[in-house]
Amino acid sequence: MAKRAIVEKDSASVVIEGLAEFIVAMKKANPDLVVQIALANQAVGKAIVVDAKAKANSIGWPGSAQLAAKTLGSSKSAKNAMVRLGGKRAPFALGTEFGAKRYKQFAAWRGNQWVGFDTGVGYYLHPAVRESWPEARETYLKTIDEVMRTSFPE
């Protein structure tokens, strides 16, 4: 039985039959694939961090969002693009991103107001993720095209 990859967008699932087998075959054809995908993921993560920091710095309320944005970072992984926020240096970071109902030092709660991919949660990080999707998609498509050309030259 073929393994299935499930991609969720707008609460709908898209099942991609054979994706896991395709990735295994590509790794065999070109071992550099994992490195190339990890670099693409890192580039997407860095672009999101830059955009999120700019959004946090433009928020009108006092400097807690700007302080939290200093903790934004990206990681290199072959499985996905990762962005981190907060940690020990800024335990208040999630409050600056999602707001709060109880604590008045944060903006209004936006933590679970999912309306669709284009609207909803977050003040700076999640909007940056939503806005970066078209560029991220192009980065991945270019990377896959390059890997396919080097793996299967004409």
Q: Which segment of 23-27, 44-48, 145-149 scores lowest on mean pLDDT?
A: 23-27
Domain ranges of the chain: 1-30, 32-151
Give the DSSP per-residue string, the chain.
---EEEEEETTEEEEEETHHHHHHHHHHH-TTHHHHHHHHHHHHHHHHHHHHHHHHHH-SS-THHHHHHTT-EEE--SS--EEE--STT-TTHHHHHH-BSS-TTS-B--SS---BTTB-S-SSHHHHHHHHHHHHHHHHHHHHHHHHHHHS--
> Where does the pLDDT of residue 6 fall: very low under 50, low under 70, confident under 90, or very high at 90 and above?
very low
Mean pLDDT of the chain: 79
Please name which of 138, 98, 100, 152 lies closest in space to residue 122, comparing C-alpha atoms.
98
Amino acid code (one letter) for 45:
G
pLDDT at 128 over 60: yes
pLDDT at 148 over 70: yes
pLDDT at 7 over 50: no
pLDDT of residue 10: 42
Question: What percent of the chain clears pLDDT 90, i.e. is strictly above it?
Answer: 21
pLDDT at 63 over 90: no
Under 8 Å between Cβ of 7 and 16: yes
pLDDT of residue 28: 79
pLDDT of residue 52: 94
pLDDT at 2 over 80: no
pLDDT of residue 13: 45
Mean predicted confidence (pLDDT) in 110-130: 78
